[in-house]
Amino acid sequence: MTATPPAGRGPRRIGPFEVPAVGLGCMNLSHAYGVPPEPRAAEHLLRTALDEGVTLFDTAALYGFGANEELLGRVLAAHRERIVLASKCGLTGVDGRRVIDGRPETLRRTADEALARLRTDSIDLYHLHRVDRQVPVEESIGAMAELVQAGKVRALGLSEASAATLRRAHAVHPIAALQNEYSLWSRNPEQGTLVAAAELGVALVAFSPLARGFLTSAPPGPGTLPERDVRRQMPRFDARHYPANLELRRRLDEIAGGAGCTLAQLALAWVLSRAPHVLAIPGTRSVAHLRENLAVLDLAVPGEALDAAGEVLDSATVHGARYNEATLAEIDTERCGAAG
């Protein structure tokens, strides 16, 4: 195989910021994947990420219903000038329930709450976590633009949004980043947002680039997922589809072995190779996996291996939808074939 330059070489831009191509998604330190780690372990992971050169840290009001922002505030406030701090609004916990609310008055209030939890005077990158179908996106972004004018936020982003919505939002206020799920098995950005982001000068920040742990050395299985793990509600992890997806994963593992990298590194290199405006924010609770992920920045994965990986697993070969129908109905992104 012919080696190609490292996919992550050099910084990538998000609005006014330059950051390494791999940041840290902090959700699973407080939320979504079963029981969160003990605070001391989570704090150690964040400090190690700082030591390893991570500068983009991504959180949200939803994660742990504020607990994740509090965690980042405790650990990162002393290092505020070294990092790009990203959070999200418009999807929060209310009385123990997950609520989408993009009303201007809600976004203003939750921004102040986030600033207090994060122990900072300003959030570098503030995303609208979900587009509220009851509120025109122009109204939500207009309120967030006021936060920029007030100095509480430096740049705006969207999450789980379509190309059409991105263009509407960008017409109200420049959008620095679009955070959508993008991985070998979730190709929705290829239906429009990848191109639209490039045209508008918007960074595409890929969340779940390792397919929610599926493309790692220790993939979860339906029988091992904790009771409150969100993957229990995702068709790709259920007993109907998971065995077929594991067979695809086995083939990817063989490609990674032939390329001299781990499966996670192959998957991350593939995402970063899609375009120079693409970044990735894998999450992890493991220091070893954190270092494995960051090593991709200096890794030259052969182009033939990336091409082969993209053919083995894509929206046509994956088994099961990205989310269940109830969740898909909440999301503004383009659907992608059978994969949802």
Token couple for 303: 């182009």
Helical spans, DSSP H, in the chain = 39-51, 67-76, 104-118, 137-149, 163-172, 193-200, 242-259, 263-272, 287-294, 303-312, 325-328
Residue of 33, 63, 126, 242 marked catalytic:
63
Q: Are 59 and 68 in contact (CB under 8 A)?
A: yes
Residue 187 backbone phi and psi in degrees, to 5: -105, 15
Residue 288 burial by Cβ neighbours in a 10 Å radius (0-12, 13-18, 19+): exposed
d(CA 148, CA 318) in angstroms, rounded, equals 40
- CB crowding 118-131: b at 16 or more within 10 Å, else e: bbbebbbbbbbbbb
Q: Which helix (H) or strand (E) holds 240?
A: none
Side chain identity, residue 211: A
Find the Cα–Cα–Cα–Cα dihedral 146, 147, 150, 152, rounded to 10°. -170
Distance of alpha carbon 340 from its chain centroid, rounded? 17
63 catalytic residue (yes or no): yes
d(CA 152, CA 171) in angstroms, rounded, equals 21
Contacts of residue 184, defined as CB under 8 A and 6 or more positions apart, other chains included, come to 211, 215, 252, 267, 270, 271, 309, 310, 312, 313, 314
Catalytic residue set: 63
